[in-house]
Structure 1
Amino acid sequence: MTGPVTGAAVTGTVDVHAHVLLPTLHAEVERRAPELVAEAAALDLRRNGAASQAVSGPMIGMRIPKLTDVNVRLADMDAQGVERQWVSASPNHFYPWAPEGLAVWVAGEANRLIADYVAQAPDRLTGLGLVPMQHPERMVEYLDDAVLGRGLAGVEISSFAGDVELSDPRLEPFWARAAELGIVIFLHPFGCSLDERLDRFYLANTVGQPTENAVALSHLIFAGVLDRHPALKIVAAHGGGYLPTVIGRSDHAWNVRPDARGCEHPPSTYLRKVWFDTVVHDSRTLHALVEVAGEDRVVLGSDYPFDMGLDDPVTKIREAELAEDITQRILGGNAAALLETKRTA
């Protein structure tokens, strides 16, 4: 990595969904667990299909400079009119199959590398770390490592990890600590449990990612996590997937089925207790998201620099022709408000 760099402040616009690749971390994971890495690669191939993998490999290869070089990132941000990015690890670094020793090393090393990366441009970049979600008993330790040890703004988690869902009681200490610290939890899936059913036409992403978002948020809501920890700051990638646009079905289930009554209020209530990024790809869905979640709960995202992201995220927001005050909140005000709480030990 190069030394500190700076970029001109642009507009006050904040992109909460942007990724960094950590090649040295992955190389070490491959060295420590070659058989497990090979098994994970075979699962990815099975889930995505050969045709999609043949496209994704070169796509990522072309974007390595954007994923690793701070100067390239800042130039792209300037071109987009983005002042600040929240930078999180590319989800391939979750390694949900890793045994405890490797998983905690990954979390600690990722937190160090991300902190070093954003320190190259602290006026433009905010970092989010990782926790070993498949080992819930270690999550608080590495949440503290990310936030208190490395000065990051929060952590990124997947939609599930092995047998750990967001409704898992073993996550209660993690939720409590995250609420206590007032930090951001960025919910971003990697892979989809539907596996081979989505192995063509890039359905693993176009259908799988929104599905995973919806399932994860539903676990969170129906289990009453947001009742028990109302101060949580959870930002859902990809506009929360399918859940916001079909939330009426969840409300109906809550009204008619006792087994869907794990939360105190109708599920739609909790959409106004979560934040959602704008990676939804069309103005109609963005309008619907603002309507169901609230104008203070939608934040600009791009999924930089992947091909399923938004190359010009600011223009995408403006094309929706929302009221100017709402547009300004989405472009930066809501994200700024999310980081206002001071983190203490």
Structure 2
Amino acid sequence: MTPPTVDVHAHLLLPDVEALVAGRPGLAEAKTLDALRNGPAALAVSGPMVRDRIPKLTDVTVRLAAMDAQGVDVQLVSPSPSHYHYWADEETAEKIYRHANEATAAHCAAAPERLRGLGLVPLQHPGQAVEALDDALRQGLLGVEISSHAPGRELSDPAYEPLWTRAEETGALLFLHPFGCTLDERLDQWYLSNTVGQPTENAVALSHLIFSGVLDRHPDLKVVAAHGGGYLPTHIGRSDHAWSARSDARAGCAHPPSSYLKRLYFDSLVHAPHVLRELIRAAGPDRVLLGSDFPFDMGTEDPLGALRAAQLSELDFHAVRGGNAATLLDLV
């Protein structure tokens, strides 16, 4: 049986969440930081870009028509990372994740054969994370989307151990999608905040999971990294060298860093055929999933065309096109 074509990197806008946080203490400061990190030129382009895409981000009928045009059978839909709001206090954070989980589930329920969803957890409050994940699962979502860090906390922080444990126990997916880069104004021109910042954040976050031993302690954790895992998979040799050469680098994980790539999943959104081929070589053809970043401008409007451009074997093409995701998402 031919598996469906599955896009694991597609987004949803949640107006109710933004209405919820409007005027809350901390929002203005967060927006100021976002403006600092991106710069005025990027914000001037991003605002109209998002507005033009609101129908695709909110209207199920429009989404399905776009999926049909792309040849995509199933989307794994996650909230726009702009909804993380990791500045929020505990009371507000709980309202955010409950609204986000419910709204995402409702969006997907409008086309249950074609849409699967992910919720949110407030990484800034690790004590809420397990309940937020459980709430997402109760809503029928497959897991949650997380950023590369929270203020003052990396993903290696021991406070997240209960979240990893619960995700492993339930088989929940964790979609690692950064939002913002802590290099701040160094990247505030030419959209470096995204082109350099996002893959940097992916690489840092995955390195924390690897080098701290999180993946040793939780070998069945299902982590899907957006943007092909950023710089890490194509530069993993440097990590392996450090692990071999230095006692401090190998103090936290039991095996060479490159071996952990085969325990993770990666989307295919790397924007160059030779990079996709290297990602598949490094992680394995069973660990790469089709991803488009629907419908944003830093994604691809033709994810299957981008996959064909890599000139993979027939077996690997169909694995990435949908076979791997169909197994991971239990679609078959």
TM, length-normalised to structure 2: 0.98
Residue 81 in structure 1 maps to residue 75 in structure 2: no
Contact 1:167 1:220 survives alignment (8 Å): yes
Provide the residue aligned with 1:7 in structure 2: none
Residue 161 in structure 1 maps to residue 153 in structure 2: no
Provide the residue aligned with 1:216 in structure 2: 205
- Structure 1 position 12, deviation (Å): 1.0
Letter of the 2:237 partner, please give it: G
Contact 2:17 2:99 survives alignment (8 Å): yes
Gaps in structure 1 of 5+ consecutive residues: 1-9
| Equivalent residue for 1:28, pick from 15, 20, 23 | 20
3-state DSSP of counterpart to 1:260: coil
Provide the residue aligned with 1:6 in structure 2: none
Contact 1:11 1:83 survives alignment (8 Å): no
Gaps in structure 2 of 5+ consecutive residues: none
- Structure 1 position 24, deviation (Å): 1.5
Provide the residue aligned with 1:14 in structure 2: 6
CA distance in 2, matches of 1:113, 1:96: 19
Contact 2:3 2:326 survives alignment (8 Å): no
CA distance in 2, matches of 1:134, 1:335: 29
Provide the residue aligned with 2:128 in structure 1: 138
Contact 1:183 1:339 survives alignment (8 Å): no
3-state DSSP of counterpart to 2:116: strand
Residue 117 in structure 1 maps to residue 107 in structure 2: yes
Letter of the 1:250 partner, please give it: S
Pairs within 5 Å for 1:1-345: 12-31=4-23, 33=24, 35-147=25-137, 149-261=138-250, 262-340=252-330
CA distance in 2, matches of 1:212, 1:64: 26
Per-residue Cα deviation, 1:188-239 (whole angstroms, up to 9, x for no partner): 0000000000000000000000000000000000000010000001000000
- Structure 1 position 259, deviation (Å): 1.3
3-state DSSP of counterpart to 1:104: helix
Letter of the 1:12 partner, please give it: P
TM, length-normalised to structure 1: 0.94
CA distance in 2, matches of 1:105, 1:180: 25
Letter of the 2:193 partner, please give it: A
CA distance in 1, matches of 2:80, 2:20: 16
Contact 2:167 2:221 survives alignment (8 Å): yes
Cα–Cα, structure 1 residues 11 and 291, in superposed 2: closer, same or farther, change >3 Å? closer
CA distance in 2, matches of 1:159, 1:136: 14
Per-residue Cα deviation, 1:139-162 (whole angstroms, up to 9, x for no partner): 001100101x20101100000011
CA distance in 2, matches of 1:160, 1:135: 12
CA distance in 2, matches of 1:138, 1:11: 37
- Structure 1 position 340, deviation (Å): 3.1
Contact 1:59 1:307 survives alignment (8 Å): yes
CA distance in 1, matches of 2:153, 2:142: 24
Contact 1:91 1:190 survives alignment (8 Å): yes
**Once superposed, what is the RMSD of the aligned Cα atoms?**
1.3
CA distance in 2, matches of 1:182, 1:263: 23
- Structure 1 position 273, deviation (Å): 0.4
Provide the residue aligned with 1:5 in structure 2: none
CA distance in 2, matches of 1:227, 1:216: 16
Letter of the 2:6 partner, please give it: V
Letter of the 1:98 partner, please give it: A
Letter of the 1:302 partner, please give it: S
- Structure 1 position 11, deviation (Å): 7.2
Per-residue Cα deviation, 1:100-158 (whole angstroms, up to 9, x for no partner): 111111011100000111000101100000011111111001100101x2010110000
Per-residue Cα deviation, 1:306-336 (whole angstroms, up to 9, x for no partner): 0000100011101111001100000101011
- Structure 1 position 20, deviation (Å): 0.1
CA distance in 2, matches of 1:164, 1:41: 20
State the aligned residue count. 330
| Segments ≥4 residues shifted beyond 4 Å | none
Letter of the 1:219 partner, please give it: H
Identity of aligned residues (%): 62
